[in-house]
Protein backbone atom coordinates (compact mmCIF):
# COMPACT_ATOMS: atom_id res chain seq x y z
CA UNK A 1 0.00 0.00 0.00
CA UNK A 2 1.22 3.47 -0.76
CA UNK A 3 1.47 6.14 1.86
CA UNK A 4 -1.61 8.17 2.65
CA UNK A 5 -1.09 11.70 1.39
CA UNK A 6 -1.27 14.32 4.10
CA UNK A 7 -3.53 17.24 3.28
CA UNK A 8 -2.28 20.48 4.67
CA UNK A 9 -5.08 22.74 5.80
CA UNK A 10 -3.95 26.01 7.29
CA UNK A 11 -5.74 27.18 10.38
CA UNK A 12 -8.32 29.87 9.84
CA UNK A 13 -9.54 32.19 12.53
CA UNK A 14 -13.18 31.30 13.17
CA UNK A 15 -13.65 34.16 15.66
CA UNK A 16 -13.48 36.68 12.84
CA UNK A 17 -16.61 35.20 11.40
CA UNK A 18 -18.67 34.65 14.52
CA UNK A 19 -21.42 37.21 14.84
CA UNK A 20 -24.48 35.48 13.54
CA UNK A 21 -27.52 37.48 14.54
CA UNK A 22 -29.71 34.40 14.64
CA UNK A 23 -29.98 31.72 11.98
CA UNK A 24 -32.79 32.06 9.57
CA UNK A 25 -33.29 29.22 7.14
CA UNK A 26 -32.72 29.68 3.44
CA UNK A 27 -36.46 29.18 2.88
CA UNK A 28 -37.38 32.80 3.51
CA UNK A 29 -34.50 34.09 1.40
CA UNK A 30 -35.42 31.68 -1.37
CA UNK A 31 -38.91 33.12 -1.37
CA UNK A 32 -37.55 36.62 -1.80
CA UNK A 33 -35.22 35.53 -4.60
CA UNK A 34 -38.05 33.79 -6.44
CA UNK A 35 -40.18 36.92 -6.20
CA UNK A 36 -37.33 39.16 -7.32
CA UNK A 37 -37.35 40.97 -3.98
CA UNK A 38 -34.25 42.84 -2.80
CA UNK A 39 -32.27 41.06 -0.07
CA UNK A 40 -31.44 42.89 3.16
CA UNK A 41 -28.22 43.24 5.16
CA UNK A 42 -29.54 40.62 7.54
CA UNK A 43 -30.18 38.25 4.62
CA UNK A 44 -26.59 38.74 3.47
CA UNK A 45 -25.23 37.92 6.91
CA UNK A 46 -27.56 34.92 7.18
CA UNK A 47 -26.26 33.64 3.84
CA UNK A 48 -22.67 33.99 5.04
CA UNK A 49 -23.48 32.01 8.17
CA UNK A 50 -25.27 29.28 6.28
CA UNK A 51 -23.23 26.21 5.41
CA UNK A 52 -25.61 25.01 2.68
CA UNK A 53 -23.29 26.00 -0.15
CA UNK A 54 -25.26 24.09 -2.74
CA UNK A 55 -28.51 25.74 -1.62
CA UNK A 56 -26.99 29.24 -1.83
CA UNK A 57 -25.38 28.41 -5.15
CA UNK A 58 -28.71 27.18 -6.50
CA UNK A 59 -30.35 30.53 -5.67
CA UNK A 60 -27.48 32.49 -7.21
CA UNK A 61 -27.68 30.33 -10.32
CA UNK A 62 -31.40 31.06 -10.61
CA UNK A 63 -30.61 34.77 -10.69
CA UNK A 64 -27.69 34.27 -13.09
CA UNK A 65 -29.88 32.32 -15.50
CA UNK A 66 -32.77 34.75 -15.14
CA UNK A 67 -30.41 37.52 -16.27
CA UNK A 68 -28.23 35.74 -18.80
CA UNK A 69 -29.45 32.20 -19.41
CA UNK A 70 -26.35 30.19 -20.27
CA UNK A 71 -24.49 33.11 -21.80
CA UNK A 72 -20.98 33.45 -20.42
CA UNK A 73 -18.80 36.31 -21.53
CA UNK A 74 -15.09 36.59 -22.26
CA UNK A 75 -12.90 39.05 -24.11
CA UNK A 76 -9.50 39.20 -25.76
CA UNK A 77 -7.37 41.52 -23.70
CA UNK A 78 -3.96 42.05 -22.18
CA UNK A 79 -2.63 43.79 -19.10
CA UNK A 80 0.05 46.44 -18.88
CA UNK A 81 1.61 47.98 -15.80
CA UNK A 82 3.66 50.98 -16.86
CA UNK A 83 5.31 51.22 -13.44
CA UNK A 84 5.36 49.20 -10.24
CA UNK A 85 6.97 52.02 -8.23
CA UNK A 86 4.40 52.88 -5.60
CA UNK A 87 4.14 55.21 -2.63
CA UNK A 88 1.23 53.35 -1.09
CA UNK A 89 1.87 50.84 1.62
CA UNK A 90 -0.79 48.15 1.17
CA UNK A 91 -0.02 45.07 3.25
CA UNK A 92 -1.57 42.66 0.74
CA UNK A 93 0.40 43.85 -2.27
CA UNK A 94 3.19 41.72 -3.74
CA UNK A 95 3.52 43.81 -6.88
CA UNK A 96 4.62 47.29 -5.76
CA UNK A 97 8.20 48.40 -5.26
CA UNK A 98 8.47 51.41 -3.00
CA UNK A 99 11.56 53.10 -4.43
CA UNK A 100 12.51 53.66 -8.07
CA UNK A 101 15.99 52.20 -7.36
CA UNK A 102 14.73 48.94 -5.82
CA UNK A 103 15.70 45.78 -7.58
CA UNK A 104 12.71 44.76 -9.73
CA UNK A 105 11.34 48.32 -9.81
CA UNK A 106 10.43 49.37 -13.34
CA UNK A 107 8.98 52.39 -15.11
CA UNK A 108 8.37 52.17 -18.85
CA UNK A 109 9.31 55.02 -21.14
CA UNK A 110 6.72 55.86 -23.80
CA UNK A 111 8.82 53.92 -26.32
CA UNK A 112 8.97 50.88 -24.00
CA UNK A 113 5.19 50.99 -23.53
CA UNK A 114 4.75 51.07 -27.30
CA UNK A 115 7.06 48.08 -27.75
CA UNK A 116 5.28 46.20 -24.94
CA UNK A 117 1.93 46.72 -26.67
CA UNK A 118 3.25 45.90 -30.15
CA UNK A 119 4.48 42.56 -28.81
CA UNK A 120 1.01 41.65 -27.53
CA UNK A 121 -1.29 43.32 -30.04
CA UNK A 122 -3.11 41.44 -32.78
CA UNK A 123 -6.22 42.48 -34.71
CA UNK A 124 -8.63 40.44 -32.55
CA UNK A 125 -7.57 41.97 -29.21
CA UNK A 126 -10.11 44.54 -28.10
CA UNK A 127 -8.90 45.74 -24.68
CA UNK A 128 -5.83 46.96 -22.87
CA UNK A 129 -6.10 46.95 -19.06
CA UNK A 130 -3.65 49.37 -17.42
CA UNK A 131 -3.01 49.71 -13.69
CA UNK A 132 0.08 51.30 -12.18
CA UNK A 133 1.81 52.04 -8.90
CA UNK A 134 1.57 55.52 -7.40
CA UNK A 135 4.87 56.92 -8.67
CA UNK A 136 6.10 60.11 -6.99
CA UNK A 137 8.34 61.21 -9.81
CA UNK A 138 6.11 61.29 -12.90
CA UNK A 139 4.34 64.27 -14.46
CA UNK A 140 0.64 64.11 -15.40
CA UNK A 141 1.80 64.26 -19.01
CA UNK A 142 3.30 60.81 -18.62
CA UNK A 143 -0.20 59.36 -18.39
CA UNK A 144 -1.88 61.52 -21.02
CA UNK A 145 0.97 60.83 -23.47
CA UNK A 146 0.62 57.11 -22.81
CA UNK A 147 -3.11 57.23 -23.58
CA UNK A 148 -2.56 59.35 -26.70
CA UNK A 149 0.17 57.02 -27.94
CA UNK A 150 -2.14 54.01 -27.58
CA UNK A 151 -5.06 55.77 -29.25
CA UNK A 152 -2.94 56.86 -32.18
CA UNK A 153 -1.09 53.60 -32.75
CA UNK A 154 -3.72 51.04 -31.71
CA UNK A 155 -7.06 52.69 -32.44
CA UNK A 156 -8.99 49.42 -32.11
CA UNK A 157 -8.05 48.97 -28.47
CA UNK A 158 -10.48 49.98 -25.76
CA UNK A 159 -8.39 51.62 -23.02
CA UNK A 160 -9.58 50.53 -19.57
CA UNK A 161 -7.19 52.17 -17.16
CA UNK A 162 -6.41 53.63 -13.73
CA UNK A 163 -8.14 52.58 -10.54
CA UNK A 164 -9.88 55.10 -8.29
CA UNK A 165 -6.72 54.93 -6.14
CA UNK A 166 -4.66 56.35 -9.00
CA UNK A 167 -7.30 58.94 -9.86
CA UNK A 168 -7.28 60.20 -6.26
CA UNK A 169 -3.47 60.28 -6.28
CA UNK A 170 -3.41 62.31 -9.52
CA UNK A 171 -5.94 64.74 -8.09
CA UNK A 172 -3.83 65.39 -4.98
CA UNK A 173 -0.44 65.32 -6.65
CA UNK A 174 -1.26 67.46 -9.66
CA UNK A 175 -3.69 69.69 -7.78
CA UNK A 176 -6.76 69.08 -9.91
CA UNK A 177 -10.32 68.14 -9.04
CA UNK A 178 -11.39 64.54 -9.71
CA UNK A 179 -13.59 65.87 -12.53
CA UNK A 180 -10.63 67.61 -14.13
CA UNK A 181 -8.36 64.57 -13.83
CA UNK A 182 -10.96 62.32 -15.42
CA UNK A 183 -11.91 64.80 -18.12
CA UNK A 184 -8.29 65.25 -19.16
CA UNK A 185 -7.66 61.51 -19.17
CA UNK A 186 -10.83 60.92 -21.21
CA UNK A 187 -9.74 63.58 -23.68
CA UNK A 188 -6.44 61.71 -24.09
CA UNK A 189 -8.15 58.34 -24.67
CA UNK A 190 -9.41 56.83 -21.40
CA UNK A 191 -12.59 54.84 -22.14
CA UNK A 192 -13.46 53.02 -18.90
CA UNK A 193 -12.04 52.27 -15.46
CA UNK A 194 -11.19 48.96 -13.81
CA UNK A 195 -12.58 48.08 -10.39
CA UNK A 196 -9.39 47.79 -8.35
CA UNK A 197 -8.55 49.54 -5.10
CA UNK A 198 -11.91 48.92 -3.45
CA UNK A 199 -10.46 46.17 -1.20
CA UNK A 200 -12.96 46.29 1.69
CA UNK A 201 -14.57 49.72 1.77
CA UNK A 202 -15.08 49.84 5.57
CA UNK A 203 -12.69 51.94 7.67
CA UNK A 204 -11.65 49.30 10.20
CA UNK A 205 -10.18 47.07 7.51
CA UNK A 206 -8.72 49.91 5.43
CA UNK A 207 -6.88 51.23 8.49
CA UNK A 208 -5.28 47.82 8.91
CA UNK A 209 -4.38 46.89 5.34
CA UNK A 210 -4.16 50.08 3.27
CA UNK A 211 -4.25 53.04 5.65
CA UNK A 212 -2.58 55.55 3.36
CA UNK A 213 -4.68 55.28 0.23
CA UNK A 214 -8.09 56.48 -0.91
CA UNK A 215 -10.86 56.04 1.70
CA UNK A 216 -13.83 53.79 0.96
CA UNK A 217 -16.07 56.81 0.78
CA UNK A 218 -13.80 58.54 -1.75
CA UNK A 219 -13.47 55.34 -3.81
CA UNK A 220 -17.24 55.43 -4.25
CA UNK A 221 -17.25 59.18 -4.91
CA UNK A 222 -14.69 58.80 -7.72
CA UNK A 223 -16.79 56.12 -9.40
CA UNK A 224 -19.84 58.33 -8.95
CA UNK A 225 -18.08 61.17 -10.77
CA UNK A 226 -16.78 58.83 -13.46
CA UNK A 227 -20.33 57.55 -14.08
CA UNK A 228 -21.64 61.11 -14.30
CA UNK A 229 -18.96 61.87 -16.90
CA UNK A 230 -20.15 58.88 -18.93
CA UNK A 231 -17.45 56.35 -18.08
CA UNK A 232 -18.40 52.77 -17.37
CA UNK A 233 -16.48 51.32 -14.43
CA UNK A 234 -16.08 48.01 -12.61
CA UNK A 235 -16.04 47.15 -8.91
CA UNK A 236 -14.07 44.62 -6.87
CA UNK A 237 -13.84 43.26 -3.32
CA UNK A 238 -10.64 41.81 -1.92
CA UNK A 239 -11.80 39.06 0.46
CA UNK A 240 -10.26 36.42 2.69
CA UNK A 241 -7.85 38.41 4.88
CA UNK A 242 -8.73 40.39 8.04
CA UNK A 243 -12.33 41.31 7.24
CA UNK A 244 -15.42 39.66 8.74
CA UNK A 245 -18.70 38.71 7.09
CA UNK A 246 -20.49 41.90 8.11
CA UNK A 247 -17.77 43.95 6.46
CA UNK A 248 -18.14 41.96 3.24
CA UNK A 249 -21.90 42.41 3.26
CA UNK A 250 -21.57 46.14 4.02
CA UNK A 251 -19.11 46.44 1.13
CA UNK A 252 -21.58 44.82 -1.26
CA UNK A 253 -24.44 46.97 -0.02
CA UNK A 254 -22.37 50.16 -0.39
CA UNK A 255 -21.74 49.20 -4.02
CA UNK A 256 -25.42 48.41 -4.53
CA UNK A 257 -26.42 51.80 -3.10
CA UNK A 258 -23.92 53.57 -5.33
CA UNK A 259 -25.19 51.68 -8.36
CA UNK A 260 -28.77 52.71 -7.54
CA UNK A 261 -27.59 56.32 -7.74
CA UNK A 262 -25.16 56.40 -10.64
CA UNK A 263 -25.81 53.17 -12.60
CA UNK A 264 -22.38 53.01 -14.26
CA UNK A 265 -20.96 49.79 -12.80
CA UNK A 266 -20.86 46.98 -15.32
CA UNK A 267 -19.43 44.07 -13.43
CA UNK A 268 -18.49 43.01 -9.93
CA UNK A 269 -15.31 40.99 -9.43
CA UNK A 270 -14.67 39.28 -6.09
CA UNK A 271 -10.89 39.02 -5.65
CA UNK A 272 -9.56 36.19 -3.46
CA UNK A 273 -6.62 37.27 -1.32
CA UNK A 274 -3.34 35.60 -2.38
CA UNK A 275 -0.82 35.50 0.45
CA UNK A 276 2.57 34.98 -1.23
CA UNK A 277 5.23 37.67 -1.28
CA UNK A 278 3.41 40.26 0.82
CA UNK A 279 3.15 41.36 4.43
CA UNK A 280 0.01 39.32 5.13
CA UNK A 281 1.65 36.04 4.16
CA UNK A 282 0.82 34.60 7.58
CA UNK A 283 -2.86 34.44 6.53
CA UNK A 284 -4.03 31.42 4.54
CA UNK A 285 -6.27 33.15 1.98
CA UNK A 286 -9.87 32.06 1.41
CA UNK A 287 -10.91 28.44 0.90
CA UNK A 288 -12.67 27.31 -2.28
CA UNK A 289 -15.84 26.98 -0.18
CA UNK A 290 -15.56 30.60 0.90
CA UNK A 291 -14.86 31.76 -2.65
CA UNK A 292 -17.88 30.00 -4.14
CA UNK A 293 -20.10 31.26 -1.34
CA UNK A 294 -18.81 34.80 -1.91
CA UNK A 295 -19.57 34.58 -5.63
CA UNK A 296 -23.09 33.36 -4.90
CA UNK A 297 -23.81 35.97 -2.23
CA UNK A 298 -22.46 38.72 -4.48
CA UNK A 299 -24.86 37.65 -7.24
CA UNK A 300 -27.75 37.59 -4.79
CA UNK A 301 -27.09 40.94 -3.09
CA UNK A 302 -25.96 42.93 -6.14
CA UNK A 303 -29.33 42.81 -7.87
CA UNK A 304 -28.51 45.96 -9.86
CA UNK A 305 -25.14 44.78 -11.25
CA UNK A 306 -25.54 43.23 -14.69
CA UNK A 307 -22.47 40.96 -14.49
CA UNK A 308 -20.40 38.97 -11.99
CA UNK A 309 -16.90 38.05 -13.13
CA UNK A 310 -15.00 34.88 -12.21
CA UNK A 311 -11.56 36.29 -12.96
CA UNK A 312 -9.73 33.07 -13.87
CA UNK A 313 -6.25 34.59 -13.46
CA UNK A 314 -7.05 35.11 -9.77
CA UNK A 315 -9.36 32.15 -9.00
CA UNK A 316 -7.57 29.59 -11.12
CA UNK A 317 -9.21 27.96 -14.12
CA UNK A 318 -10.95 25.16 -12.21
CA UNK A 319 -12.57 27.31 -9.56
CA UNK A 320 -13.55 29.85 -12.20
CA UNK A 321 -15.44 27.06 -13.98
CA UNK A 322 -17.28 26.17 -10.77
CA UNK A 323 -18.08 29.83 -10.09
CA UNK A 324 -20.11 29.82 -13.33
CA UNK A 325 -22.69 27.72 -11.44
CA UNK A 326 -22.52 30.02 -8.40
CA UNK A 327 -23.64 33.30 -9.94
CA UNK A 328 -20.80 34.28 -12.26
CA UNK A 329 -21.45 34.88 -15.97
CA UNK A 330 -18.07 36.23 -17.12
CA UNK A 331 -14.51 34.88 -16.93
CA UNK A 332 -12.54 38.01 -18.00
CA UNK A 333 -10.26 37.46 -20.97
CA UNK A 334 -7.04 36.19 -22.41
CA UNK A 335 -5.28 38.34 -19.75
CA UNK A 336 -1.83 38.29 -21.30
CA UNK A 337 0.91 39.61 -18.97
CA UNK A 338 -0.93 39.76 -15.64
CA UNK A 339 1.55 40.57 -12.84
CA UNK A 340 -0.36 41.32 -9.61
CA UNK A 341 -1.47 37.72 -9.00
CA UNK A 342 1.63 36.12 -10.45
CA UNK A 343 3.75 38.02 -7.92
CA UNK A 344 1.30 37.02 -5.15
CA UNK A 345 1.81 33.30 -5.79
CA UNK A 346 -0.58 32.38 -8.60
CA UNK A 347 0.93 29.34 -10.31
CA UNK A 348 -1.72 28.85 -13.01
CA UNK A 349 -1.35 29.62 -16.72
CA UNK A 350 -0.06 33.08 -17.62
CA UNK A 351 -2.59 33.51 -20.37
CA UNK A 352 -5.41 31.64 -22.12
CA UNK A 353 -6.12 31.65 -25.82
CA UNK A 354 -9.58 32.43 -27.16
CA UNK A 355 -10.02 28.70 -27.89
CA UNK A 356 -9.06 27.77 -24.33
CA UNK A 357 -11.53 30.30 -22.91
CA UNK A 358 -14.31 28.89 -25.06
CA UNK A 359 -13.38 25.37 -23.95
CA UNK A 360 -13.30 26.45 -20.29
CA UNK A 361 -16.82 27.85 -20.61
CA UNK A 362 -18.33 25.16 -22.82
CA UNK A 363 -17.09 22.37 -20.58
CA UNK A 364 -19.50 23.71 -17.93
CA UNK A 365 -22.43 23.48 -20.35
CA UNK A 366 -22.61 27.24 -20.90
CA UNK A 367 -22.57 29.27 -24.09
CA UNK A 368 -19.36 31.26 -24.67
CA UNK A 369 -19.93 34.78 -25.98
CA UNK A 370 -17.06 37.05 -26.95
CA UNK A 371 -17.61 40.63 -25.83
CA UNK A 372 -15.82 43.95 -25.85
CA UNK A 373 -15.08 45.86 -22.65
CA UNK A 374 -18.56 47.39 -22.44
CA UNK A 375 -20.34 44.10 -23.17
CA UNK A 376 -21.16 44.54 -26.84
CA UNK A 377 -21.19 41.09 -28.41
CA UNK A 378 -18.46 40.34 -30.94
CA UNK A 379 -19.41 37.98 -33.77
CA UNK A 380 -22.52 35.86 -33.70
CA UNK A 381 -24.40 34.99 -30.53
* Residues contributing to the site for ligand V47 (CB under 6 A): 92-94, 131, 194-197, 199, 234, 236, 238, 269, 271, 273-274, 278, 311, 332, 340, 344
Q: What is the per-residue burial (b if ≥16 Cβ within 10 Å, else e) of 223-245?
A: bbbbbeeebbbbbbbbbbbbbbb
Cβ closer to ligand V47: 44 or 286?
286
Cβ atoms 215, 204 nearer than 8 A? no
Cβ closer to ligand V47: 269 or 360?
269
Taking the complex as a whole, the smallest distance from the CB of residue 272 to ligand V47 amounts, in Å, to 6
Cβ atoms 85, 135 nearer than 8 A? yes
In the bound state, the residue with its beta carbon closest to ligand V47 is 196
Cβ closer to ligand V47: 234 or 321?
234
Taking the complex as a whole, the smallest distance from the CB of residue 306 to ligand V47 amounts, in Å, to 13
Contacting residues for 15 by C-beta, under 8 A, at least 6 apart: none
Taking the complex as a whole, the smallest distance from the CB of residue 4 to ligand V47 amounts, in Å, to 32
Cβ closer to ligand V47: 247 or 332?
332
Taking the complex as a whole, the smallest distance from the CB of residue 201 to ligand V47 amounts, in Å, to 12
Long-range contacts of 46-54 (CB under 8 A, 24+ apart): 46/20, 47/293, 47/296, 47/297, 47/300, 48/17, 48/245, 48/248, 48/249, 48/293, 48/297, 49/17, 49/20, 49/23, 49/245, 50/23, 50/26, 52/26, 53/289, 53/292, 53/293, 53/296
Cβ closer to ligand V47: 269 or 319?
269
Taking the complex as a whole, the smallest distance from the CB of residue 234 to ligand V47 amounts, in Å, to 3
Cβ closer to ligand V47: 43 or 338?
338
Taking the complex as a whole, the smallest distance from the CB of residue 20 to ligand V47 amounts, in Å, to 27
Amino acid sequence: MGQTAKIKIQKRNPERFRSNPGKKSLVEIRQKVLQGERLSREDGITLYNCSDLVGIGHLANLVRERLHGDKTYFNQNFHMNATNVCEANCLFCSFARIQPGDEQAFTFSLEQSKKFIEARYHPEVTEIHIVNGLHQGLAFDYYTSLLEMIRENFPNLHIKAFTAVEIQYFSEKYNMSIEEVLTRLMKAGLMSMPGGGAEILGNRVRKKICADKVSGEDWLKIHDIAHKLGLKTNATMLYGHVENYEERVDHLLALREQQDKSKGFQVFIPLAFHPEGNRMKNLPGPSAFDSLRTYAISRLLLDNFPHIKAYWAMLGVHLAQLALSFGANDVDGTVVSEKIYRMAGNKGPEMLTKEQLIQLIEETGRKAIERDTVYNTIGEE
